[in-house]
């Protein structure tokens, strides 16, 4: 019950990781507003999660497209009108976008992926921030992923948008630090969700042979557990993580449960952030031009 009495907006919450996060939040005592574009599947998710809610716990849903500013304002207004102690935003909604060589991608599909993955994250933050600043407290959790920290050929819009989400996370964290609002990003690991299905449907000609074969292996081995990402999201939404901000954390590889005990070290370092690697970082001494 680490989130008892807190309320959260969770986007992309009708399936996959978003639904797993919502499930974890409800089990942890939070009130939740589930957000997604698909109304029927969203309603099913609401009905399912209400089975796990305790007396007095609120589970509601709101259809919306996070790439549209008006929808984001409507989502936040619904949350503030419906849920008490509204302090948490989870920006999970995302798409792969077009798969294939950049010059062969449909341009509108490429741009739309940026709108959903990056602009959707920014727009939801813009909509909720006046409320969180007024409260003097809040938790914003952004979903990053593959391509944010290494190249992801043939998934250029996805990789570019997810890298941008991480830099936006770090930047926003500094903007709102004085307001006691923590902003972090999660890398959930390779998940066996609808995005994996898209890769397999696209085939090796569009995705690239090596990536396609890794995806087949991932499907066979099960991928990263959804509950790992959900557990990290719940940790970052709780008061246990207060003060931890501006970080990109791997749900699978980072020992994030120890971060509260290491917070002083973390505050003085660039651990779990994006940065440029210079020759000295690799033991090289190259002269400047």
The catalytic residues are 158
Nearest to 90 by CA among 176, 188, 199, 225: 188
| Distance separating alpha carbons of residues 207 and 100, to the nearest angstrom | 6
* 28-61 core/surface letters (b: 16 or more CB in 10 A; e: else): bbbbbbbbbbeeeebeebbeebeeebeeebebeb
DSSP conformation letters of 93-161 = -------S-GGGS-HHHHHHHHIIIIIHHHHHHHHHHHHHHHHT-EEEEEE--TTSSS--TT-HHHHHH
């Amino acid at each position: 019950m680490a989130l008892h009495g807190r309320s959260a907006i969770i986007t992309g919450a009708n399936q996959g990781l978003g639904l797993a996060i919502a499930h974890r939040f409800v089990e942890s005592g939070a009130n939740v507003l589930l957000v997604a574009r698909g109304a029927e599947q969203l309603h099913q998710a609401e009905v399912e999660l209400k089975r796990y809610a305790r007396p007095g716990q609120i589970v509601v849903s709101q259809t919306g497209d996070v790439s549209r500013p008006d929808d984001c304002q409507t989502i936040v207004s619904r949350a503030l009108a419906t849920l008490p102690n509204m302090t948490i935003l989870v920006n999970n909604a995302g798409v792969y976008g077009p798969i294939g060589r950049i010059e062969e991608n449909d341009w509108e599909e490429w741009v739309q992926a940026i709108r959903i993955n990056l602009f959707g994250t920014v727009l939801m933050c813009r909509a909720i921030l006046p409320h969180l600043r007024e409260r003097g407290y809040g938790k914003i959790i952004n979903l990053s992923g593959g391509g944010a920290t290494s190249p992801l050929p043939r998934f250029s819009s996805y990789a570019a948008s997810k890298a941008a989400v991480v830099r936006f996370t770090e930047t926003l964290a500094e903007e709102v630090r004085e307001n006691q609002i923590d902003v972090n990003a999660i890398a959930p690991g390779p998940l066996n969700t609808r995005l994996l299905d898209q890769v397999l449907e696209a085939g090796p000609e569009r995705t690239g042979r090596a990536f396609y074969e890794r995806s087949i292996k991932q499907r066979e081995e099960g991928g990263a557990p959804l509950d790992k990402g959900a557990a990290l999201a719940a940790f970052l939404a709780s008061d246990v993580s207060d003060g931890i901000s501006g970080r990109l954390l791997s749900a699978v590889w980072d020992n994030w449960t120890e971060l509260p005990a290491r917070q002083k070290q973390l505050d003085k370092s660039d651990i779990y952030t994006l940065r440029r690697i210079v020759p000295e970082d690799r033991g090289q001494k190259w002269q400047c031009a």
